[in-house]
Structure 1
Amino acid sequence: MSKPIHLALASALALTLATAAAGAPAKPAAEAVAAAPYRWPGLAPGAVEEMAAMRDGVKLAANVFKPAGTGPWPVVMTRTPYLKDGRIDKEHDPDGSKRREALVKQAKHYTDAGFVYVLQDVRGKGRSQGFYAAFENDVEDGYDSVEWAAARPWSNGKVGLSGGSAMGITANEAAMAAPPHLKAAYVVVAPYDLMQNSYMGGVLKEKDVLGWSKGQGVSDEVLNTQRRRVGDDIFWNRAAMSTNRKYIQIPIYNVGGWYDIFDHGNVSNFEYLQNHGAKGARGNQKLLMGPFGHGALSGDLEYPGFDRLNLAGDQELRWFDYWLKGVDNGIMDEPPVGYYMMAGAEKGQLSPKNRLLTSANWPPANREVRYYLTPDKVLSGKAPSGDGVKVSYRFDPADPVPTVGGANLTFERGPMDQRAIPARQDYLRFQTPALDKDVTIAGPVKVELYGATDGLDTDFMAKLVDVYPDGYEALVLDAPVRARFRHGRMPDDVRMMTPGAPEELDIDLWSTAITFEKGHRIALHITSSNSPRFEVNPNTGEAPGEHRQAPRVAANTVYMDAAHPSALVLPVVYPDGK
């Protein structure tokens, strides 16, 4: 993949310690000043280190790489918590030569194209001053850094932001501050809302959030605080894209992956900004979605065709040529959305139906088609009748269903074979008969689940699975819902369950694009745990992070009758087979 996606696959930080950036900037950073350029032994060849003073006097360090010739030039900036001079690897790169070579290659991507490249350490990282608190200062610091770069002698006053994952988050936060000289951004795999991403459906991503934090030496006290931070509050929303993207005034090219931890982020941000954004943003967005994750995919599927397209890097430079240089290269005459339509992809047997498609918007035109759950574990196109039809199971927190793949960061990820989960009474597999024709979907997937439990609270988990003719159960999407948060996560939305009473619990599985080919089966797996991907619910009804009561075994029930038509809802394209 190109440089931006390579950067994007490096980071877990976006999942972990994010609290909130402070409010919108009170004033421009025109008074931000730079110390004299300085060379030090850690610099990559061709770089000059410059210091930018933020509004509170803290100075942030940046490596500045300039094109050959005489400026001024447009600027592409990346703001990183991962050290502008690269990480030291005494085992594999003792003299730092590989590190410096990678940084030079990264900069050359831009300088050869006629841009100054600025790689800046965020506050408290690397050679920048201040205290590091993940994403708490990146609204103001992003604003001030853009305005500083615009005022430098080597700059023509037009600045773009580029980055993936954590660097995509810093780009989005700066864009929300609307610095006057920021003209465009290129954002790879970044979330729309850290709370919604870290606590999907109100359930904490156990291993990727707490597991990663613990590996960094975070105390148990802080980890328990993170467990309790599931509710919606001002601290999440001060820097949330979902709350503040209405202030963005620039074109953004979003690149995401169908198996990435931030799949929903790039899609959601594009949808909002393209259709409802402020002047300057609305109608000027681009989206590219590919078949990749936040790291190499695990399992027996692969999508080599997307790598050969090599679109991301080429499109980035075209994007900045258009918005920072005014080059009429036709990029804005092309469809706003490019997305990879996945299909059969067992290694060595890539179906020709895997292909890149375009669309005027996201999602493409589709129709919701419901596949109803039946007691004989079939997904049926016919709505259920009768009364009291249901399937029950016992959910024991001491014996959770193990995680096999999914949109993970710190462990195996992607479309892994769910047959690794053996038959067990608390894991319900529903599937269609073998398809007599292709079923193509593109857009958001959800499950309308009618569930009950014998206690006050529990979890339900759903997985969309593509079952191959040879039996391979390829995971496509998965997500949970915590019963108490079925109506939302504002304090007044929280409702405990009435024991034994069925209620609708909608599960948002996020978006995808896949063709379930003729001969395959569409499957929906329902359970109540998926560990260590998600925190295991103790079924006690205690508040998140409380452990005063011993976990209990819950009797959970899925209803599937006329009054409670549990269904998988798919965005089917060409529903009539045309």
Structure 2
Amino acid sequence: MSTPTPDAVAASAWAPPAGRPPLSARMMRALWRGLPAKRHAIGWEPGLVVPAADGSPLITDHYFPRAEGDFPTLLVRSPYGRGLPWSPMYGLLFAEQGFHVVLQSCRGTGGSGGAFDLWRNEAADGRATVSWLRGQPWFNGTLGTVGPSYLGYVQWALALDPPPELKAMVVQVGLHDPYGLFYADGALRLENALAVGVGMTYQHQGMAPFLRATLRLQRRLRAVTTARPLRGAYASALGGEIAWLDDVMSHPDPHDPYWHGASLDRSAERLRVPTALITGWHDALADQTFEQYGRLRRAGCETALLVGPWTHTSALQQGWPEVFAESLAWLRAHLCADPSGLRPTTVRAHVGGENAWRDLDDWPPAEAATPWYPAPGGRLIRQAPTDSAPLTTFRYDPADPTPSLGGPLLSRTAGPRDNSRLEARDDVLTFTGPPLTEPVDVLGPVSARLSVSTDTGHADVFTRLCDVDAQGRSVNVCDGLGRLRTTGDAPSQVTVAMSATAHRFPAGHRIRWQISAGAHPRYARNPGTGRSPVDATTFTPVRMTLHTDSALLLPGGSGLG
């Protein structure tokens, strides 16, 4: 018989306090369906004070099973408060499955001391919290982390120099690169920036202030996003100026010293902590998840990837049963030595169009890209062009910008949408293939190689893959935006990453390539003058010409018979 460690002896001797979890959390827990059966009654220690790296108090709630035994600990650090929905989703659900859960407010939020910063304190504060855990009588020396969005960023921060107790991570719709959240090829992701501004400013204050702020932004969104100049216009919708948001909007260059140290991509490059990654095809942070998955695989780290038919928010709503089951199985396998819930393959992906899950050995599948070319008459064909002749021209007016519709956003408007009305605009080009005689699978990263000339030298290009059904309904699959830098009439060659997908185009459907010069307010409109979109007060319409040697590159794209 093995001799119990001092930590295990202390944990088994610990007498739990009498507190019950908050009523609001218990009521929300009662509404969920399709989750595993409860294993333990739950206790709650609210308002614990954990000293941060500089001594600032980090307010922390402790959820725990009311049972004798030796239970591992989950650390959940959040800038969004410790109430709904975090209390039931992470405190209650994981504690009743046999984990101590430490739910902590990041500095400057939820009553914690100090000033919140988007990224500069999380590594040190995470390490300080682990030091505090080592002194708790119930801590048995086995630690895991779990959480979504910025709660993923704090996990990557801890993984920069992982403590020896850290045995597993679950990063759900997670962030590791703040620049990538706010910019695409130097173009400001305006709607994301405003959504993050609301979330970071109000969510930790409670659901009522957060909902009021969200509704206020929705009412004033058009006025804010069409203001000239854009700088500072958000204050009326967000309740005042936000210093970090001003800084973000003022630094579009990824090489600016402002962004130094913000990205935690290097955390995955040498990590040995088993890490599960979860995202959705319309998650605003999906590309960041795929990037980290690739780094973990190259580092030889044990990892798993789950990709569902979700947006950033719906993964934690409609997708929560699958997300929770995946997370719980991973944590039990690596913290409790119970691998019974693990799936046999590294990757599980939902295939759109087929509406089915598919197990894969890796991501992306090793398939060559199939090029599709634009042709006269709005056709999309497989035959390569023989030259680089001008094909068609359209005019983009930033005073009447091409609107955004669906796609990977942080807001409730994210996801697949019927693009028919958008495609009826004069500033939107579409190229459509013939009805398919057999299904076509597209699995992996999608991109566009564009040859474009402009009359001003300053423009953006937005490119989107759509699935057109037999009734003519055009639904977005994936997309991306790139910045053009042209000289005179010579065409500019630009490759635009359009994220990734797992999608089956059924027989009878058509593949459509949509091209425009923007998607507003998802991206700040390009003023056409070369001036910063944040400071521009004068707009210049741009005439854009697409050339025949452009191509839509689809991974696989093979018929299935």
- Band the TM-score falls in, shorter-chain normalisation: 0.7 to 0.9
**CA displacement at 1:478 relative to structure 2:** 1.9
Q: Within the alignment, does 1:577 sit opposite 2:544 as a pair?
A: no
**Counterpart of 1:121?**
105
Q: Within the alignment, does 1:535 sit opposite 2:524 as a pair?
A: yes
Q: How many residues align?
A: 488
For 1:68-79, list aligned pairs within 5 A.
68-79=66-77
**Counterpart of 1:19?**
none
**Counterpart of 2:34?**
none
Answer yes or no: is the 8 Å Cα contact 1:259–1:292 preserved in 2: yes
Distance 1:552 1:230 in 2: 21
Pair 1:153–1:296, CA change in 2 (3 A): closer
**CA displacement at 1:171 relative to structure 2:** 1.7
For 1:382-531, list aligned pairs within 5 A.
382-421=383-422, 423-484=424-485, 497-531=486-520
**Counterpart of 1:551?**
539
**Counterpart of 1:357?**
358
- Which letter does structure 2 place at the counterpart of 1:294? H
Q: Which moved more, 1:382-391 or 1:258-267?
A: 382-391
Answer yes or no: is the 8 Å Cα contact 2:271–2:301 preserved in 1: no
**Counterpart of 2:43?**
46
Pair 1:446–1:133, CA change in 2 (3 A): same
**SS of the residue aligned with 2:340?**
coil
Pair 1:540–1:155, CA change in 2 (3 A): same
**CA displacement at 1:460 relative to structure 2:** 0.7
**Counterpart of 1:289?**
307
Q: Which runs of 5+ in 1 are unaligned?
A: 1-36, 88-98, 298-303, 344-352, 485-496
- Which letter does structure 2 place at the counterpart of 1:166? Y
Answer yes or no: is the 8 Å Cα contact 1:71–1:154 preserved in 2: no
Distance 1:187 1:552 in 2: 43
Answer yes or no: is the 8 Å Cα contact 1:65–1:117 preserved in 2: yes
Distance 1:195 1:519 in 2: 41
Distance 1:128 1:251 in 2: 30
Distance 2:102 2:313 in 1: 25
Pair 1:439–1:535, CA change in 2 (3 A): same
Q: Within the alignment, does 1:108 sit opposite 2:118 as a pair?
A: no
Distance 1:105 1:411 in 2: 20
Distance 2:181 2:505 in 1: 27
Distance 2:44 2:243 in 1: 42
Distance 2:323 2:248 in 1: 35
**CA displacement at 1:241 relative to structure 2:** 2.8
- Which letter does structure 1 place at the counterpart of 2:347? V
Q: Within the alignment, does 1:339 sit opposite 2:349 as a pair?
A: yes
Pair 1:156–1:461, CA change in 2 (3 A): same
- Which letter does structure 1 place at the counterpart of 2:538? A
Answer yes or no: is the 8 Å Cα contact 1:259–1:293 preserved in 2: yes
| Percentage of identical aligned residues | 28
**SS of the residue aligned with 1:361?**
coil
**CA displacement at 1:426 relative to structure 2:** 1.7
Q: Which moved more, 1:313-322 or 1:377-386?
A: 313-322
Distance 1:128 1:223 in 2: 21
**CA displacement at 1:335 relative to structure 2:** 0.7
**CA displacement at 1:296 relative to structure 2:** 4.7
Distance 2:496 2:447 in 1: 6
> Which of 261, 265, 272 in structure 2 is aligned with 1:242?
265
For 1:52-91, list aligned pairs within 5 A.
52-84=50-82, 86=83
**Greater RCO, CA 8 A, separation 6+:** 1
Distance 2:173 2:267 in 1: 18
Distance 2:274 2:245 in 1: 37
Distance 2:560 2:19 in 1: 64
Answer yes or no: is the 8 Å Cα contact 1:225–1:545 preserved in 2: no
> Which of 147, 150, 159 in structure 2 is aligned with 1:166?
150
Answer yes or no: is the 8 Å Cα contact 1:404–1:420 preserved in 2: no
- Which letter does structure 1 place at the counterpart of 2:447? K
**SS of the residue aligned with 2:53?**
coil
Q: Which runs of 5+ in 2 are unaligned?
A: 1-15, 24-41, 198-233
**CA displacement at 1:577 relative to structure 2:** 3.5
Answer yes or no: is the 8 Å Cα contact 1:147–1:179 preserved in 2: no
**SS of the residue aligned with 1:66?**
strand
Pair 1:191–1:126, CA change in 2 (3 A): closer
**CA displacement at 1:231 relative to structure 2:** 0.7
Output one character per residue of 1:163-215: Cα deviation in whole Å (capped at 9) or x when no partner. 01121222222222322221111111013422123212321111221365334
Pair 1:152–1:221, CA change in 2 (3 A): closer
Distance 2:488 2:452 in 1: 11
**SS of the residue aligned with 1:329?**
helix
> Under a length normalisation based on structure 2, what TM-score does the superposition of the two structures give?
0.81
**CA displacement at 1:513 relative to structure 2:** 0.4
Answer yes or no: is the 8 Å Cα contact 2:281–2:309 preserved in 1: yes
